[in-house]
Amino acid sequence: MASIADLKSTATQVRRDIVRMVHGVQSGHPGGSLGCTDVVTALYFHSMKHDVHFSMDGKQEDLFFLSNGHISPLYYSVLARAGYFEVKELASFRKINTRLQGHPTTHEHLPGVRIASGSLGQGLSVAVGAALTKKLNQDPHLVFSLHGDGELQEGQIWEAVMFASHNKVDNLISIVDLNGQQIDGPTSKVLSLGNLRSKFEAFDWTVLDMDGNDMDSVVAVLDKAKSMTGNGKPICILMKTEMGKGVDFMEGSHEWHGIAPSDEQLAKALAQLPETLGDY
């Protein structure tokens, strides 16, 4: 299990990977990827019991489902750094015939990816199904999912929320990235989400809060969430992050949801993200 210092070091390299990958093809989604880097790093290097010798059935291991699949640069970097495939493959991001498509896909047979995601609103339903399967198979491991806050504007999310609590899916931990931004602007202006804590609690979920850009908070809250599973309720973590975290000129702006940095901007970003594990 990695120390906080090691997790921070890994997260810095992952952020470096993200900006390089998106710059390399002038395409992709850096903002949300950078904002969620700490939590996905902590999941794979601290919280989850998972096997890099990948099997689609996921038996006897914890599972992770990325519902907001557009932050694939983050997902691919963490999977590679965790040992699912060679780090050098990150250089193929979004190129012709690559396994590293703009949104994760299953037909490419990339180790670590169990669902095609990025059509927002669907990932929670899949996570609930996987968690129920584990309960039916008497598999004690957990299921984690990650969602964007704008994604919660999708109705299917709330059907899954209701289904999960009704069926006491208490081996599920779902994380919502509350960066307050989506492709068209602030979520408060596009379609306000209201009081999400009250909404999830009204659906009989256990709700925790997390500072998603503070590794100490991330690890502590993930540990707490794991300790609260098995109590008859699914768990939601409302995670505050800043879009573009780690690169000062990207932070807090929806404009970096889906654009790539120029050569000059890449140089500025990399100057703020020292190489810690070796570039691909």
pLDDT exceeds cutoff 90 at 178:
yes
pLDDT exceeds cutoff 90 at 253:
no
Question: Would you state the pLDDT for residue 9?
Answer: 98
Q: Reduced to 3 states, what is the DSSP secondary structure of residue 84?
A: coil
Question: Would you state the pLDDT for residue 152?
Answer: 97
Name the β-bridge partners of 172. 143
Residue 210: pLDDT band (50, 70, 90) is very high
Which residue type, as a one-letter code, is found at position 138? Q
Residue 216 burial by CB count (10 A; 0-12/13-18/19+): exposed, middle or buried?
exposed
Residue 254: pLDDT band (50, 70, 90) is confident
pLDDT exceeds cutoff 90 at 1:
no
The pTM of this model reads 0.97
Which CATH number describes the domain made up of 4-272?
3.40.50.970
**String of b and e for 186-200 (b: at least 16 CB within 10 Å)?**
ebeeeeebeeeeebb
Question: Would you state the pLDDT for residue 136?
Answer: 97
Please provide the DSSP assignment of 108-169 as one string.
TT-TT--S---STT-HHHHHHHHHHHHHHTT----EEEEEETGGGGSHHHHHHHHHHHHTT-
Domain boundaries, the chain: 4-272
Residue 183: pLDDT band (50, 70, 90) is confident
What does the pLDDT look like over 110-136, one tens digit per residue?
A: 999 999 998 999 999 999 999 999 999
Question: Would you state the pLDDT for residue 85?
Answer: 98
* Mean of pLDDT over the chain: 97
Question: Would you state the pLDDT for residue 165?
Answer: 98
What does the pLDDT look like over 184-202, one tens digit per residue?
A: 889 999 999 999 999 999 9
Residue 106: pLDDT band (50, 70, 90) is very high
What does the pLDDT look like over 257-275, one tens digit per residue?
A: 999 999 999 999 999 999 9
What is the token pair recorded at 7?
Answer: 């997790």
